[in-house]
Structure 1
Amino acid sequence: MKEDQKNFVIFALLAALILFAWQPIMHWVFPQQPAATTKLVNGKSQPVPNPAADPTADSPSALRDRAAVLAETPRVVIDTPSVKGSINLKGARFDDLVLVKYDENISKNSPPIRLLSPTGAAGAYFAQIGWQGVGTQAPGADTVWQASAPRLTPTTPVTLTTTNATGQRFQIDLAVDEHYMFTIRQTVTNLGAAPVAVTPFALVSRSSRSTDVDQYVAHVGPVAVAASAANYINYGDVETAPKQFTTTGGWAGFADHYWLTAIVPDQKLPVSLQQRGTPAKTYQADYQLTQPINLAPGTKASYSSHFFAGAKEVKLLEDYQDKLGIDEFDRAIDWGWFGMIEQPIFYYLDWLFRLVGNFGVAIILLTITIRALLFPIAQKQFASMAKMRVLQPKMKALQERWKDDKPRQQQEIMKLYKEEKANPVAGCLPMLLQIPIMFALYKVLLLTIEMRHQPFVLWIKDLSAPDPATILNLFGYLNFTPPSFLAIGIVPVLLGVSMYYQMKLNPAPLDDMQKQIFAIMPWMLMFVMAPFAVGLQVYWITSNILTILQQRWLYSKHPALKEPLPKKDAPKKEVAVK
């Protein structure tokens, strides 16, 4: 096969790989691409309803209206600056909770995120506190508790009590902070004539899977921390067999993309944690003490634990981990292998946001910072590229001289690199460093709730979602929705243009196949990046602009890079080769 034909085949295979294999690769390697939260209609931005934000929406298990179910049982009202809802006194269940600081979408009248719902309504999702008993009848799901007060607030705790027929008095002291953490103290007093044994437990139950998508590096589903190790479990894994852990310290619960429920046992006593599921796709996380508490007549014992139900706010999770001593509570966010890069990026980006008040501007400032840190490496890159360009004639001469002996050709070229102190890989270093930074930024934008629904300018109302200004339907003036692979917005086009001009400044490669790849790459990346978060595209566009300015300055320092290379068909001059 001739060289040109070979190059064409390679180019065609690369193009086909990018076009057809990109989406499957992205599904497993990258976090879930965000759904659009706004769209342009007649040139104006409008919010897009998000049914996935409500886990009870369109559920096949819908039985009765939620309000009617809530009215059927006596309740204690939950009222804090962050959550509102109620506790069901029948069974002592947390089964009604909304997050008042977070809305389903960005419209002004959007309802808040609903996290918990009662049994009997669609999408039942609740937590329950209780005991198992030996020699006594422990309270059950039908037990109606007596409450000391009608409202649970950060300043007014509530005590629930009940007494059984054999004289055991059960008590649950409840307190809540201004965020999402409930403190629970369970006490049993044995007023009977015989000894009893009780085992405290807690559980979280949900009647269906999360509507968020679980992916390789963005976990959604059961979570259990045991022995200081986070276990991210798939829903399907617990449908066939439960996952069990014996540990001192840790917790268990369910993680959605932005939300978390977690039962947290006493961190100093050994417990058995379990994650269970059924073929009917109902799920339960629970724990119980490994040893029962024995109570002689006239004695009592208490057990303390916590229940978290709320948003996975980075600093808040870390604060609970430190102040309450909850083992690895910050692992509720699946940072993954790049956590050491992602977390510093998050903290710096969050600091910049609080400084300037606009997340898009904060991303631009982050980009400038990263480019400034990489500038010394970029200088070395350009120096290496200049040296490689000067060596091109000698390399071509070696290739011609040893074209029939490839091993000798490579040997002579490596010898030339060594003699001239040139490193052909040095020019790739800044690009290689950018890959983990971009991946880390993308995970930060997708995983951390602090970036959710953050506006930038004009029509960009959510930096964690794709650009809604699709060109094909004239920004919403035409009444149709383009297919996803053609839903190209203004920001992706700006990305393609900036990439095109950046590549135009690079030295033109000698190989025709490489020229073809470089010519089409900006526009292929435009399509590839279109479904991604606008925030990531803002980072890349800013980085490209800074690269263009940097290249112009560095070209003035390395004029050899601007000298044209001899073409393939140009008359060859004798070049001395050592």
Structure 2
Amino acid sequence: MENQRNVILAITLMALILFGWPYALEVFYPARPATVEDVANAPRPGLDPATPGASSGAVSGTVPDTASASKIIRTRKAVLADSARVTIDAPRVGGSINLTGARIDDVVLKDYREKLDKDSDLVHLFSPAGTADQYFAQFGWIGEGVVTPTSQTVWTPSGGRLTPSTPVTLRWANPAGQRFEIVYAIDANYLISVTQRFINSGATPAIVRPLGLINRTSANADPSTWTVRNGPLGVFDDVADFDVHYDDLDENPKKLVEYGGNIDWLGFTDHYWLSALIPAPGSTGQMAGNFRSLGGKLYQSELLFDSKVVAPGKMVETKAMLFAGAKETELLDDYVDAKDIKLLDRAVDWGWFIWFEKPIFKLLNWLFEQVGNFGVAIILLTIIIRGLMFPIAQRQFASMAQMRAVQPKMKALQERYKDDKQKLQTEMMELYRKEKVNPLAGCLPMFLQIPVFFALYKVLLLAIEMRHQPFVLWIKDLSAPDPLTPVNLFGLLPFDPPSMIAIGILPIILGVTMWLQFKLNPAPMDPVQQQVFSIMPWVLMFVMAPFAAGLQLYWAMSNVLTIAQQKWLYSRHPQLKELAAQEAAAKAAKAEKDKMPKEKGGA
């Protein structure tokens, strides 16, 4: 009886996990609104020169003036045509830099499209202020005793095109002749290096504090779930902080969350994309980082460097980096190693089981590189996982055979001690010891499958490498649910059924193979277990319908391999198959016996 309770408990835990996931997943992201609310800029106290390096309550002169521009949302094309720009032309990034404010407000990811359609627009990560998708980066200074550039300053470029081989320097001088320079350099991927210089050509000392910021609307932000964290994100003192959400900033009385100490990087993360401000390796001095709510669904991350007193005729230089691109796992790992950007790989929300999930991702990605088809790679990964677990499955079947063999003795004990539960438990434990039976051995593979399944679920959910990857025939995107469903006659009827009933071909295959798998197992003696096993395949078929096709493919393939494995193991444990046949015959005889009185009565 104890063993039966353990099995039911294991099944219940698995069902709870599976039933919880659909509520955590956001299959359909919120639609982007057509307008952005007005932005009311809060008062911004200046930097106190008496406390160099201290973080001011806000960043003066850095928040873009969108109060008027946001009243009427303009198209991206119209805003880009309105200002002089420097073109960005890197292998994987296109776009432009706005010379007004020196803003990087036009970033296009050349390797990714918005939708599966090959004619779909490329992903526009950054967009100018005043558009519905406002999202940009800006670098500047806070000054004391010096006129600093603002978001309306028009800069002079050294060239018209930013490429990996041609950095661009933007220059501006204030009325006192003091010069400011920003040098932008881009690599072959998504990293922009930024050098800020202040040359004090005036007659008196000046206090300047370099800074960088990322400004964005949350209107087009991916929502957070309990499995995937999106929104403000940073690494501070070698610890990734996932605790700040857009709502937290709105509800904060100061509309501000501040960080001191060692700022490794900070910015905003979406499901597949990341923007991050990063101090250059070796940066010294006191830094500060902020997340801020500006109102009207606008938010800002800010990186502030130490204040510097610059004597006449002297220059101060600050280096930083901006990441703006896709969260490709191996690329983030490369930046951690090559650029010494601490924990940049944590931008992918692997969670607590990163030690287990990343090896599975690396194996899956390697298989994909070898075969060129992500679906085939998932099948090969399934074979490898089942192969590694095969010895455990053998022990499970041996344990099942032993348990079935002692069932008559167990039933006898239950009858003898049905009124003395304590004595029954003692006698059953003694029986297990004599027969060398471990009642929990059969549950071990089930428990081991749960972390493997969850790890693969996280990999398939988070890995941008699987985004828009096809398999065969109708499965064009393994990161999306199976689109072919009999509910609308496989697309012949012109409507899209709700996700929970839009059961695709793969979930149906999953349900059927799980039913076959359970049919091969010896029927549980407990009627409750029999009912659980009889309905579980069809319940899971509905539960899995909204999940990624890649995950459905893994589970269905795992079921097929389990069926083949069970067939082979039955041949190695004939006593188990014999007992299963006897139970099936007894069950059929009982059903026939129950039916006979009804037939006689009817006659």
**Which of 288, 311, 316 is the matching residue for 1:272?**
288
Once the two structures are TM-superposed, the CA of residue 315 in structure 1 deviates from its matched residue by 0.9
Contact residue 90 and residue 145 of structure 1 kept, 8 A: yes
Residue 174 of structure 1 corresponds to 184
Residue 161 of structure 1 corresponds to 171
**CA distance in 2 between partners of 1:569 and 1:403 (Å):** 28
- The one-letter code sitting in structure 1 at the alignment partner of 2:190 is Y
Residue 302 of structure 1 corresponds to 317
Once the two structures are TM-superposed, the CA of residue 568 in structure 1 deviates from its matched residue by 9.3
Q: What does the per-residue CA deviation read over 1:368-411, in whole Å, with 9 as the maximum and x for residues that have no partner?
A: 00011111111111111111111101110111111111122112
Once the two structures are TM-superposed, the CA of residue 266 in structure 1 deviates from its matched residue by 3.0
**Which of 270, 278, 283 is the matching residue for 2:299?**
283
Residue 267 of structure 2 corresponds to 253
1:115 aligned to 2:148?
no
Contact residue 263 and residue 289 of structure 2 kept, 8 A: no
**Which of 348, 365, 372 is the matching residue for 1:333?**
348
**CA distance in 2 between partners of 1:334 and 1:209 (Å):** 21
Task: Determine what percentage of the aligned residue pairs are the same residue.
Answer: 53
Determine helix, strand or coil for the equivalent of 1:486: coil
**Which of 216, 234, 243 is the matching residue for 2:257?**
243
Contact residue 22 and residue 546 of structure 2 kept, 8 A: no
**CA distance in 1 between partners of 2:300 and 2:589 (Å):** 74
**CA distance in 1 between partners of 2:19 and 2:530 (Å):** 25
Q: What does the per-residue CA deviation read over 1:255-306, in whole Å, with 9 as the maximum and x for residues that have no partner?
A: 01001111112343231111111453211000102x3111111111111000
How many residue pairs align between the two structures?
Answer: 539
What is the aligned-residue RMSD (CA, Å)? 2.4
1:216-235 mapped onto 2 (5 Å cutoff): 216-232=226-242, 233-235=244-246
1:450-469 mapped onto 2 (5 Å cutoff): 450-469=465-484
Residue 224 of structure 2 corresponds to 214
Residue 263 of structure 1 corresponds to 277
1:523-538 mapped onto 2 (5 Å cutoff): 523-538=538-553
Which sits farther off after the overlay, 554-563 or 524-533?
Answer: 554-563
Once the two structures are TM-superposed, the CA of residue 480 in structure 1 deviates from its matched residue by 2.5
**CA distance in 1 between partners of 2:203 and 2:500 (Å):** 74
Residue 93 of structure 1 corresponds to 103
**CA distance in 2 between partners of 1:27 and 1:483 (Å):** 14
1:105 aligned to 2:119?
no
**Which of 420, 437, 441 is the matching residue for 1:405?**
420
Contact residue 92 and residue 189 of structure 2 kept, 8 A: yes
Once the two structures are TM-superposed, the CA of residue 87 in structure 1 deviates from its matched residue by 0.6
**CA distance in 2 between partners of 1:499 and 1:569 (Å):** 23
**CA distance in 1 between partners of 2:498 and 2:132 (Å):** 32
Once the two structures are TM-superposed, the CA of residue 249 in structure 1 deviates from its matched residue by 4.3
**CA distance in 1 between partners of 2:26 and 2:466 (Å):** 14
Q: What does the per-residue CA deviation read over 1:315-338, in whole Å, with 9 as the maximum and x for residues that have no partner?
A: 111111111111111111110012
- The one-letter code sitting in structure 2 at the alignment partner of 1:349 is L
1:446 aligned to 2:461?
yes
Q: Report the CA distance shift for 1:439/1:57 in structure 2 as closer, same or farther (over 3 A).
A: farther
Q: What does the per-residue CA deviation read over 1:61-106, in whole Å, with 9 as the maximum and x for residues that have no partner?
A: 6612222222222111111121111111111101111111100111
Structure 1 residues without counterparts, runs of 5 or longer:
36-49, 572-578
Determine helix, strand or coil for the equivalent of 2:303: strand
**CA distance in 2 between partners of 1:148 and 1:568 (Å):** 87
1:194 aligned to 2:194?
no
**CA distance in 1 between partners of 2:186 and 2:498 (Å):** 47
1:27 aligned to 2:23?
yes
Q: What does the per-residue CA deviation read over 1:477-505, in whole Å, with 9 as the maximum and x for residues that have no partner?
A: 12222232221111111111110111111
Residue 149 of structure 2 corresponds to 139
**CA distance in 1 between partners of 2:562 and 2:345 (Å):** 36
Contact residue 116 and residue 468 of structure 2 kept, 8 A: yes
1:309-328 mapped onto 2 (5 Å cutoff): 309-328=324-343
Determine helix, strand or coil for the equivalent of 2:150: coil
Contact residue 249 and residue 326 of structure 1 kept, 8 A: no
Contact residue 275 and residue 324 of structure 2 kept, 8 A: yes
**CA distance in 2 between partners of 1:516 and 1:172 (Å):** 70
- The one-letter code sitting in structure 1 at the alignment partner of 2:128 is P
Q: Report the CA distance shift for 1:97/1:51 in structure 2 as closer, same or farther (over 3 A).
A: farther
Contact residue 162 and residue 185 of structure 2 kept, 8 A: yes
Q: Report the CA distance shift for 1:57/1:378 in structure 2 as closer, same or farther (over 3 A).
A: farther
Determine helix, strand or coil for the equivalent of 1:322: helix
**CA distance in 2 between partners of 1:561 and 1:33 (Å):** 44
Q: What does the per-residue CA deviation read over 1:210-240, in whole Å, with 9 as the maximum and x for residues that have no partner?
A: 4422111201100011001111121111113
**CA distance in 1 between partners of 2:30 and 2:542 (Å):** 27
**CA distance in 1 between partners of 2:296 and 2:94 (Å):** 30
**CA distance in 1 between partners of 2:27 and 2:365 (Å):** 20
1:75 aligned to 2:89?
no
**CA distance in 2 between partners of 1:374 and 1:25 (Å):** 25
Which of 1 and 2 has higher RCO (CA within 8 Å, sep 6+)? Answer: 1
Q: Report the CA distance shift for 1:569/1:96 in structure 2 as closer, same or farther (over 3 A).
A: closer
Determine helix, strand or coil for the equivalent of 1:389: helix
Once the two structures are TM-superposed, the CA of residue 247 in structure 1 deviates from its matched residue by 2.8
1:349-388 mapped onto 2 (5 Å cutoff): 349-388=364-403
**CA distance in 2 between partners of 1:103 and 1:568 (Å):** 57
Q: Report the CA distance shift for 1:246/1:278 in structure 2 as closer, same or farther (over 3 A).
A: same
Contact residue 146 and residue 161 of structure 1 kept, 8 A: yes
Q: What does the per-residue CA deviation read over 1:405-428, in whole Å, with 9 as the maximum and x for residues that have no partner?
A: 112211211121122221111111
Determine helix, strand or coil for the equivalent of 1:315: helix
Once the two structures are TM-superposed, the CA of residue 109 in structure 1 deviates from its matched residue by 0.9
Determine helix, strand or coil for the equivalent of 2:260: strand
What TM-score, normalized to structure 2? 0.85
1:84 aligned to 2:99?
no
Residue 160 of structure 2 corresponds to 150
**CA distance in 1 between partners of 2:75 and 2:369 (Å):** 41
Determine helix, strand or coil for the equivalent of 2:405: helix
Once the two structures are TM-superposed, the CA of residue 515 in structure 1 deviates from its matched residue by 1.2
Once the two structures are TM-superposed, the CA of residue 563 in structure 1 deviates from its matched residue by 2.6
Q: Report the CA distance shift for 1:138/1:118 in structure 2 as closer, same or farther (over 3 A).
A: same
Q: Report the CA distance shift for 1:24/1:372 in structure 2 as closer, same or farther (over 3 A).
A: closer
Contact residue 133 and residue 219 of structure 2 kept, 8 A: no
- The one-letter code sitting in structure 1 at the alignment partner of 2:433 is K
Determine helix, strand or coil for the equivalent of 1:518: helix
1:494 aligned to 2:509?
yes
Determine helix, strand or coil for the equivalent of 1:159: strand
**CA distance in 2 between partners of 1:96 and 1:51 (Å):** 23
Once the two structures are TM-superposed, the CA of residue 208 in structure 1 deviates from its matched residue by 2.6
Once the two structures are TM-superposed, the CA of residue 460 in structure 1 deviates from its matched residue by 0.3
Residue 596 of structure 2 corresponds to none
Determine helix, strand or coil for the equivalent of 1:218: coil
**CA distance in 2 between partners of 1:56 and 1:279 (Å):** 16
